[in-house]
Amino acid sequence: MERKKESRTLPYEWSKSGFALAVEEIKQIYKRFNTGEAKTLAAACDITSASNSTIETNWKELFDEYRKFNPQASDKTWSKSYYKTPEQLKTSKVPPVLNQAERLMGKRKKPKDGTELMMQSLEAWEQGSRARQISRRVLNAFLKWAVLNGKLPVSFAPPAVIPEIRKEKRIGYALTDLQILSLIENERDEKWKYVYQLLGVYGLRPAELKHIRIIDGKLWSTYRKSMGGKKGKKTEPRKLWPIPLTDADNKLVDFNLKQRIQLGEEMPYLGREGEAAMALRTHLRGCKLWKQYRKEAEKIEQVLVPYTFRHRYAKASHAKGFPTKNIAEAMGHTKEVHDANYARFQPDGTGEMYEKAFNEVEAA
């Protein structure tokens, strides 16, 4: 007797990766249908889905194997954005996304597929936030790897799209030279004064404070960070070029920073690697002047953050008329990243054009 054949639609996107995922499930369905285990394709699909959902997984071993597949992720990045050990979790407010997935899959009523697993795992982060974007990307890549390599059932393939509310990018406030000088003057701790001076004059990321070196008589930042959108690639060490602060009398202020760096002047405790921005933020929260600056930033719908010293450097560079490509190089990022964050500082000639036209009318 000829078996009844039925068609079914598999929930995979029409793409190379979707095709690869669908093939694995089709193999399982065909095996059950061809051997007579299921009389119809629909039944074969149901049996395959049920079988997949009952597979037990040792998540710790699976994450260890995935770690080997991702050697480009540093230990710091792995524990921050991928997975923490039980010991590391004791001091973590929000566990990374793979820990979230492991917790959910350990529940009695666990997610039934990749879509549910992703949606529930990402609930720990605010919609549109940078942390949620990173977590989504990490879990998406992990699930694709696990399914394509037969580590997880095909039903746990990540969805093609997860609805997201994009958070509007906040505009970072750029401190003026006089504001930075006031911060320095009002700071009681000489070590923190030193930090403000370095950040303002060289436009450093807070994390770079631990990576300032004198090489062949030149000042360098040996800090390397991941380049957005370029997997595995990191920024290169770069020479540091000062833009001195200008005081109220329009005179350049010389803090003698290079010599002080060479002599090994001590900075305040900035936490472990990657925690300098948090240490700076925590210290500044108790500063009355910082709170005043924050209110000034809010009035023009901008935000005051530890990078505000770096924003000053970008603004001052554009005010000097330097080419964008060179400013980006001096700041240690790509021109694309610079344009995305600092296009507002680039002169476009519009103001000068209107002023010229107005002056001509006045003179007529």
Residue 231 CB burial class (10 angstroms; 0-12, 13-18, ≥19):
exposed
At 231 the pLDDT is 55
Closest-CA residue to 145 (of 68, 54, 252, 34): 68
Sheet holding 218-221, edge to edge: 212-215, 218-221, 238-239
Q: Please tell me which of 189-193, 269-273, 321-325 the model is most confident about, judged by mean pLDDT.
A: 189-193
- C-alpha to C-alpha distances, 188 to 185, 245, 260, nearest whole angstrom: 8, 20, 19
Tokens of 235: 């920024």
* pLDDT tier for residue 214 given thresholds of 50, 70 and 90: very high
**By percentage, how much of the chain surpasses pLDDT 70?**
82
The predicted model gives 110-137 an average pLDDT of 87
Q: What is the pLDDT of residues 67-82, one digit of tens each?
A: 999 888 888 889 889 9
CB burial readout 306-336, b (16+ within 10 A) else e: bbbbbbbbbbbbbeeeeebeebbbbbbbbee
Distance from C-alpha of 263 to C-alpha of 246, rounded to nearest angstrom:
25
- What is the token pair recorded at 35? 């051997």
∠ Cα 175 176 179 (to 5°): 85
Does pTM top 0.95 for this prediction? no
pLDDT at 230 over 80: no
Nearest by Cα to 202 from 112, 356, 314:
314
Question: If you average pLDDT over residues 183-192, what whole number do you get?
Answer: 96
DSSP 3-state of 61:
helix
- Going by pLDDT thresholds of 50, 70 and 90, the confidence category of residue 3 is very low
The token pair at 232 is 């595995």
Q: How far apart are CA 58 and CA 48, in angstroms?
A: 21
Q: Answer yes or no: are the C-beta atoms of 80 and 274 closer than 8 Å.
A: yes
pLDDT in tens, 278-321: 899 999 998 999 999 999 999 999 999 999 999 999 999 999 99
The b-or-e profile of 136-148 (16+ CB within 10 A means b, else e) is bebbbbbbbbbbb
- pLDDT-derived band at 221 (thresholds 50, 70, 90) equals very high
Helix (H, G, I), strand (E, B) or coil at 88: helix
Mean residue pLDDT of the chain comes to 84
DSSP labels for 27-49?
HHHHHHHHTTS-SSHHHHHHHHH
pLDDT of 325-351, one tens digit each?
Answer: 999 999 999 898 898 889 888 876 666
Give the pLDDT confidence of 135-171 residue by residue, as tens digits.
999 999 999 998 888 788 888 888 877 777 666 678 8
pLDDT tens figures, 10-66: 666 677 666 766 776 677 677 767 777 667 777 777 656 555 544 567 888 899 999
Output the pLDDT for position 220.
95
pLDDT score for 274: 75
Q: Whole-angstrom Cα distance, residue 236 to residue 221? A: 9
Q: Please enumerate in sequence order all residues whose Cβ is within 8 A of that of 13, keeping only pairs 6 or more positions apart, or say none.
A: 160
Residue-by-residue DSSP string for 217-280: TEEEE----BPTTSTT-BPPPEE------B-TTS-B----HHHHHHTTPPPPP--STT-HHHHH
Contact between residue 300 and residue 172 where contact means Cβ atoms under 8 Å apart: no
Report the DSSP beta bridge partners of residue 238.
221
For 352, the token pair is 């000068």
- pLDDT score recorded for residue 54: 46
Alpha helices in the chain (DSSP H): 16-34, 41-53, 59-69, 75-77, 86-89, 97-105, 114-121, 130-148, 177-186, 190-202, 257-262, 276-285, 288-299, 308-319, 324-331, 335-342, 350-363
- Other beta carbons within 10 Å of 47: 16
What does the alpha-carbon distance between residue 136 and residue 162 come to, in Å, rounded to a whole number?
Answer: 9
pLDDT number for residue 94: 81
> How many alpha carbons fall within 13 Å on the CB side of residue 265?
17
**Burial classification of residue 117, based on how many CB atoms lie within 10 Å of its CB (0-12 exposed, 13-18 middle, 19 or more buried):** buried
Instruction: Identify the pLDDT of residue 1.
Output: 44
